Structure 1
Amino acid sequence: MPPSFPGDTETQAAPLPPRRVYRPGTERRQEIIAAAREAFVRSSFAGARTRDIAEAAGVNQATLFKHFPTKEKLFEEAVLQPLIEALRVVQGRVEVYQAAETPEEMGKLAQPATMQHLAAMQETLPLLVTALFSDLERGRRLYRDHIEPLIRKRGAVLEPLVKEGVDPEFVGLAGFGMMFAVAMQQWLGEQPGDLAPVAEQFNRVLTGGFARSGSR
């Protein structure tokens, strides 16, 4: 077989290694957070592996740990912080509701805020479940340090509107529980639909109760 010389059509050069795409540190950090959030929601804190998270984010483990020294810190940034920020939006303004003279009027005034709260709860439900139940002690700290104070604050906001004999904090807790149940139904049961009728039902129950008035 005759030797091959440069320029021969049959001669093939060795393939060059793929060029490494440079990404700014902030972009890599966000990609790691996104990959970690998906992994924690899918596999819980204990089941998610940093090696798999790094691979999904397109980095090595050394780069991951450069941004997040521990798995706990990564969980905090990927799950706890966005969850806490989302929960903070569920606070209303009592001055608006005090203008209502009937439960029906109060429900109408609360409609936009309720729709926003329900949407936030639906969006963050997987994070909430992951944060609360991946690890019992971590879940307790999250609830005691962040969720419970928000529920108490909501109760304090509603206190001027609550009739005598009803604990405002319990009303805040009941409202949170109803939103959690609606979000769970959307995720695990029906397909997500229009929030307007759901918010209307929510406000009708919360402001007027569900028992029929009078006896039959």
Structure 2
Amino acid sequence: MTAERASRRSSDELRELLLETARREYAEKGYAGASNRDVVRAAGVTSSVLYRHFPSKADLFAEAVLAPFVRGFEQNGLDWLDQLAEPLDDEALMRQFIRDIYLNIREHRNVLEPLMLGPGELSTAAVAQLKAVVERLFKQLRFMTELEARRRGWFSEEGADMVIRMLVGMVMGISAFGWLILPDGEDESDPEAVIDNMVKIGLWGIARHPPADRGDGPR
């Protein structure tokens, strides 16, 4: 694409072009390896166009990578709200929670994988934005969990925050490293079976006691 063709695009089209290009660059090179110059060159636009939409690399990263990820977590909250009037049973609610997070991370893992290398991959500004986003998500999840704990008699609200963080950590770990941890290809060939096992672990752990039927425990 030439700069002349790009200049005929609307502001919204240029913004989306930059975001799509940034996602590809981050997926291929990682955050540290992909410069704004790379994004500009691949998108066929000028640097002034990029900086008009995204004043810094951290801003571009937040919109290109974090925003789609956050929307997936927001869907988790919407799904939870839908069942408040007619509550799902414990297993169905846990499945909804884990499935939403697992599939969301799998969908974006080609871009999120560099984050697994740790904060050294990101700039200080990007780390700060990422931490702020994650803490906001955990605040939402903690509210949901505390309300359900009271309604369902799962456990004391004390310690709910760490329970949620451990549960999300399990789902994120399997989502990112299923290729290494799980039997060969299982996460790709049968994701529902992987989700089913995480649901069983989640139900046992969040209740803080084994299920009544030991035969129904995790495989």
Do both share a fold (TM > 0.5)? yes
Match of 1:200 in 2: 196
Q: CA deviation at 1:26?
A: 1.9
Residue 163 (1) aligns with residue 150 (2) = no
What's the C-alpha RMSD, in Å, of the aligned pairs?
3.5
Distance 2:145 2:135 in 1: 15
Deviation at 1:31, TM superposition (A): 1.1
Are 1:147 and 2:134 an aligned pair? Answer: yes
One-letter code aligned to 1:177: G
SS at match of 2:75: coil
Name the CA distance, whole Å, in 1 between partners of 2:76 and 2:41: 36
In 2, the alpha carbon distance for the partners of 1:28 and 1:35 equals 10
Is the CA contact (8 Å cut-off) linking 2:3 and 2:44 kept in structure 1?
no
Paired residue total: 193
Identity %, equivalent residues: 21
Partner in structure 2 of residue 124 of structure 1: 108
Pairing 1:64-75 to 2, within 5 Å after superposition: 64-75=50-61
User: Deviations for 1:165-201, whole angstroms, at most 9, x for unmatched residues?
Assistant: 9721122112211110121134666362333222221
- Alpha-carbon distance in structure 1 between the residues aligned to 2:92 and 2:173: 22
1:96, 1:109 within 8 Å by CA — same for their partners in 2? Answer: no
The CA distance in 2 between the partners of 1:108 and 1:164, in whole Å, is 21
Higher Rg: 1
8 Å Cα contact 1:35-1:57 kept in structure 2:
yes
Alpha carbons of structure 1 residues 204 and 84: separation in structure 2 relative to 1, 3 Å: same
> 1:88, CA displacement in angstroms?
2.6
> How many angstroms apart in 1 are the aligned matches of 2:127 and 2:169?
17
How far apart, in 1, do the equivalents of 2:104 and 2:165 lie? 17
1:178 lines up with 2:164 in the alignment: no
1:61 Cα shift? Answer: 2.5
Q: Which amino acid aligns with 1:85?
A: R
Stretches of structure 2 that go unaligned for 5 or more consecutive residues are 214-219
1:36 aligns with 2:22: yes
Over 3 Å counting, the alpha-carbon distance change for 1:68 and 1:170 in structure 2 is: closer
Q: Structure 1 residues 46 and 143, CA, compared in 2 at 3 Å: closer, same or farther?
A: closer
CA distance in 2, matches of 1:156, 1:55: 44
The TM-score normalised by the length of structure 2 is 0.69
**Alignment check: 8 A CA contact 2:66 2:130 kept:** no
Distance 1:164 1:68 in 2: 44
Higher mean C-alpha displacement, 31-40 vs 131-140 = 131-140
By how many angstroms is 1:55 displaced? 1.9
**Would the aligned equivalents of 2:99 and 2:195 in 1 still touch at CA under 8 Å?**
yes
